[in-house]
Amino acid sequence: MLRKYSLLVPFASLSTAAGVIILLARWINGNLLLSSPSALISFGFMAGICYTLATALSFIILGSLLNKSDYTQNQHTQSFLLFTIQRKLSGMNLKVIRLFYLLTGIEIWLIQLISISVLSEIMLNIPVPITLFFFLIGILFLDRIMSVKSILWLEILFIIALFSLLIFIPIYYFVQNGANTVYEGIRLYHPYLFYFKNSEILLFYVIIQLAVLGQVFFDKSTWYLIAFIKPKKVRRSLFSSGLILALLTLSFTAILMIALYSGSFGQFQVLIFTFLYEVQPGFLTFAFLVIVLLAIVTTLLVDMRATKRFFVTKRPYYFYLIGLMIILFTCFLSINLTILGVIYSFAFLHITMLPFMLILLFTNRHIHKHSWLVIFLSIIIGIGIGLSFNTLYGLATSFIISSIYQLMLQTETIEKNT
């Protein structure tokens, strides 16, 4: 069963500024800081920018779609997502969506642990299994001792430090050295990054945006944090978060450009460190390490708190954590994981869930009893197309099939009830 009691009252009325901070702290994590170089190198500057802007645009779309009257009525009961799932779903639909609700946590943990492993290999020079073991122990300890107020203060500290680095440093560097020097260096050493005629770039833009939109709509941490914001401030917080996140991602892209312009590079994971050593090795390297750790820790702590509210008692929650740790260690020991690989794998779930979530959260239509089957079939068919031809084609197929049949099922249900 899902919990029905209310959130902590003192933190159920955050202002717009506080709401922006906690939302930014959730979505600026190891994914943004360490996977953006991979997207940039694989698809070029425009694709890299669109990849990082997808979340920002998703915030703005979510703020536009929220139904203010329905939302404010149930604001402080629990997260709007959990409330709606409990109110509108039953039978297999409820079981499958609850399973997916917990399954998405695996993606968050995998991405953050991959980020930790990259830092462990490059900066800390510690064996990855040892780093992951002590990191997981530390996260469980922090979850045990930290209150919600402590986590919110930690997020504020993280955002302040991030703003200081990602906005001030590239501006300072361009003023000192000139933007033209950076541009000419990139055009000399990496001209392919300015190549826009790849026929799959437009498809990449659309698919990434749809997948990230589905991820935001079904993200338990986001809805958990939204429930702490004043109902009248929610849409403003989402709009502001989207705009600020867009500025931060553009600033981060500028840092990557500085790292690239002076010559070739080895691995894209170390691209950001090329910039750090280029400008000021000691302080910036340490500051970046602290920021990434804060980003990873705050993301996981919020996910754990959002997941804890899913369970009635603590025992099932701890069973879930034990199972999650086993899955994570198994994946790391048996599979060569990359952040983009994890993102693409879970993108099938997110993009297939998007039509379902639009109907569930933002319409008054009844949910057909076979909607869960459509989701499964769309994912399976999409994965088959992706393995046979191309991942982007597979994701597009999953979305199209899910959209058509979800709309058909819901239309049929409405007609029968009328």
Mean pLDDT of 95-109: 91
Name the pLDDT band for 411 (thresholds 50, 70, 90).
Answer: low
Q: How far is Cα 217 from Cα 236, in angstroms, rounded to an integer?
A: 17
* Closest alpha carbon to 378 in 351, 340, 344, 411: 351
**pTM for this structure?**
0.85
With respect to residue 154, please indicate whether it lies within any of the assigned structural domains.
yes
Out of 104-108, 156-160, 172-176, 227-231, the most confident range is 104-108
Residue 48 is part of a domain; what is its CATH number?
1.20.1730.10
Q: What is the pLDDT of residues 38-94, one digit of tens each?
A: 556 566 666 667 776 888 899 999 988 886 546 665 554 567 888 889 888 989 999
Number of domains in the chain: 1
Q: Give me the chain's average pLDDT, please.
A: 78
Decide: helix, strand or coil at residue 64.
helix
With respect to residue 305, please indicate whether it lies within any of the assigned structural domains.
yes
Quote the pLDDT of residue 55: 87
With respect to residue 402, please indicate whether it lies within any of the assigned structural domains.
no
CB-based contact 331:177 (threshold 8 Å): no
With respect to residue 391, please indicate whether it lies within any of the assigned structural domains.
no
Name the pLDDT band for 182 (thresholds 50, 70, 90).
Answer: low
With respect to residue 188, please indicate whether it lies within any of the assigned structural domains.
yes
Decide: helix, strand or coil at residue 417.
helix
**Nearest 10 degrees: Cα torsion 118, 123, 129, 133:** -100
CB-based contact 343:51 (threshold 8 Å): no
With respect to residue 390, please indicate whether it lies within any of the assigned structural domains.
no
With respect to residue 73, please indicate whether it lies within any of the assigned structural domains.
yes
- Backbone φ and ψ of 106, nearest 5°: -65, -40
Q: How far is Cα 258 from Cα 276, in angstroms, rounded to an integer?
A: 10
As a whole number of Å, the end-to-end CA separation of the chain is: 31
Q: Report the range of poorest mean pLDDT among 206-215, 256-265, 401-410.
A: 256-265
Q: Which has more pLDDT, 48 or 113? A: 113
With respect to residue 194, please indicate whether it lies within any of the assigned structural domains.
yes
Domain extent at residue 178: 9-335
Quote the pLDDT of residue 278: 57
Res. 167: pLDDT tops 80: no
